[in-house]
Amino acid sequence: MATIKLEIVSPDKIVYTADINMLIVRSTVGELGILPHHAPMVTGLVPHAMRMKIGDTESLIAVAGGFMEVQPDKITVLASAAELPVEIDVLRAQKAYERAKQRLEALKDGKKTDPPIDSIRAEIALKRALARLQASGHSF
Ligand code: ATP
């Protein structure tokens, strides 16, 4: 089976590198499946759990957002943060999820807060938390 090199880099480290068969990502223009020999491209990534296939095994990696560059023989993910399932602190992600959810509910209920709630920031924080929970096997 043909392979393509995957390198996931965060600001402080190389999170993951391996030869894989397929990567499925949620980009800013929708879901994309990247196979070996894919045409070159660059796209933005939204917070989600990327799906990676090696042989018959599928694994998840949480990505908080960033960019992906694809070359026919290599995929580079430049992530603002990314974690393998074993690296995810589930309790921390659950707390982040609850915090973001409460902020969004307060906004929906028209509650006035000081400082005011930034809805876009809360929505993205919710998506980051969900990506971590999903990657660690704790789907909501
Ligand atoms: P929190 O509100 O819990 O800090 P966050 O979504 O704001 O979450 P980020 O800004 O995306 O956090 O990430 C900051 C750093 O913390 C990154 O290095 C990221 O890998 C790490 N990180 C965040 N949440 C978790 C988690 N649940 N488990 C492990 N590492 C995490």
Number of helical (H) and strand (E) elements in the chain, helices listed first: 2, 10
Pocket of ligand 1 (CB under 6 A): 64, 81, 83, 87-89, 92-93, 96, 125, 128, 132
Question: Which atom number of ligand 1 is nearest to the Cα of residue 92?
Answer: 27
Ligand 1 geometric centre to CA of 1 (Å)? 35
25 and 62 in contact (C-beta within 8 Å)?
no
User: First and final CA of the chain: distance in angstroms?
Assistant: 34
pLDDT 10s digits, 86-140: 999 999 999 999 999 999 999 999 888 888 989 999 999 999 999 999 999 986 6
Q: What is the pLDDT of residue 138?
A: 86
Q: What is the pLDDT of residue 64?
A: 98
Structural domains in the chain plus CATH codes: 4-83 (2.60.15.10), 89-135 (1.20.5)
pLDDT 10s digits, 34-83: 999 999 999 999 999 999 999 999 999 999 999 999 999 999 999 999 99
77 and 66 in contact (C-beta within 8 Å)?
yes
pLDDT 10s digits, 20-37: 999 999 999 999 999 999
Comparing CA positions, the residue from 125, 50, 123 lying closest to residue 92 is 125
Ligand 1 geometric centre to CA of 80 (Å)? 10
